[in-house]
Amino acid sequence: MNCQERLGTTLISLGPNLRVICLCLVGIWLLEGCTGGIKPNPKFRPTRPDVRQPKPGAAPSVPEGARKKTASGDVSRRSSFAISILDQVDRYLDVPYLWGGTTAKGMDCSGLVGTVYRKAVNFDLPRRARDMFRSGTPIAPEDLEFGDLVFFETQGSRVVSHVGIYLGDRTFVHASTKKGVSIAELDSDYYRRRFLGARRVYRVN
């Protein structure tokens, strides 16, 4: 089954609300990979995924034939990665918060992130959010991509105490103490004030 068929099968299995979100986010993320990235508007405050045409990026300095082949392979790998991550996200959406939890009975923030990555791409992460923050490559907010980890301080100490997985279009999935596993906006007042940084822990290409 190719990536397009897998994507179709995965989306059919999702709930209607998440299906709309995933279609928007995956489409935007894949287009970012083909065009060199979309720089987010810092004034943009989405209430739902915003599907906009990306600005064309600079042409790579490789022959046309090689460029097409490389872009095709890159999109294929990104599609497979996105499908795997989103499948796990859908599996755990609405699971209640449970400190120390890593199963469908209950999860905390780092438990969710570690479980999603382990089951989606067989990649192990440190158990604690602050240790995840010390791993991977630092990423500027304007360079965030699907799958990057986003970190926050939620205890007033300026120390990492919360983590989520960036989904694109300034949204991320996390395990909230109040809402359980849910999708939140990076630019909401609460998380914008508490954002500490981002890390890229898994390279798709």
Residues labelled catalytic: 109, 162, 174
Among residues 39, 42, 45, 48, the alpha carbon closest in space to that of 20 is found at 48
Q: Give the Cα-Cα-Cα angle 141, 146, 148 (nearest 5 degrees).
A: 60
Which CA distances in Å does 190 have to 96, 184, 195, 196?
Answer: 20, 10, 9, 12
Exposed e or buried b for every residue in 95-134, given b needs 16+ CB within 10 A?
bebbeebbeeebbbbbbbbbbbbeebeeeebeebbbebbe
Cα dihedral angle (198, 10, 169, 130), rounded to 10 degrees? -20
For residue 101, the SS3 value is coil
For residue 86, the SS3 value is helix
